[in-house]
């Protein structure tokens, strides 16, 4: 499957920031990453509206947003020499890479100290 994406985000945790429950169906122990894709044919104005949808909980109701649970993914840049890829906000080389879930190898720190708190969908 080939997608030119404006945005591809994956996570095993619901929150990207304290006030942004970006992945409401994410569970740290379900063995999957939650993958969100917004394709490149979206106008900048629509992208802004989408970002406001994160705050009010309507982002995933938008028809231009794709959401999947995946075990892993591979990114292979094609048909261009240079571009921009970032992982956790850090620029990485513009070359193929992949990510996979390794269930049970991480630890989640929470406010309560014993449970993962995030309201689901």
Structure confidence by residue, pLDDT tens digits, 56-93: 878 888 888 888 999 999 988 888 888 888 888 899 99
With tokens 């990510």, the residue in question is 99
Report the distance separating Cα 73 and Cα 10, nearest Å.
Answer: 10
pLDDT for res 13: 82
Cβ contacts of 108 within 8 Å, gap of 6 or more? 13, 28, 116
Rounded to two decimals, what is the model's pTM?
0.73
How sure is the predictor about 116, in pLDDT bands with cuts at 50, 70 and 90? low
Name the nearest CA neighbour of 34 among 69, 60, 72: 69
pLDDT for res 2: 45
Q: What is the rounded average pLDDT of the residues 35-61?
A: 83
pLDDT for res 93: 92
Architecture of domain 5-100 in CATH?
Sandwich (2.60)
Report the distance separating Cα 61 and Cα 114, nearest Å.
Answer: 32
How far apart, in Å, are the Cα atoms of 102 and each of 32, 42, 70, 72? 9, 33, 12, 10
């Amino acid at each position: 499957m080939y997608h030119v994406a404006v945005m591809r985000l994956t996570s095993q945790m619901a929150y990207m920031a304290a006030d942004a429950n970006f992945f409401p169906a994410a569970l740290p122990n379900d063995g999957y990453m939650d993958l969100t894709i917004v394709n490149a044919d979206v106008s900048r104005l629509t992208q802004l509206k989408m970002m406001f949808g994160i705050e009010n909980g309507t982002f995933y109701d938008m028809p231009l947003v794709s959401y999947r649970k995946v075990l892993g993914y591979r990114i292979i840049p094609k048909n261009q020499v240079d571009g921009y890829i970032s992982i956790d906000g850090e620029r990485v080389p513009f070359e193929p890479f992949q990510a996979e879930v390794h269930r049970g190898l991480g630890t989640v720190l929470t406010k309560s100290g014993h449970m993962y708190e995030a309201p689901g969908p």
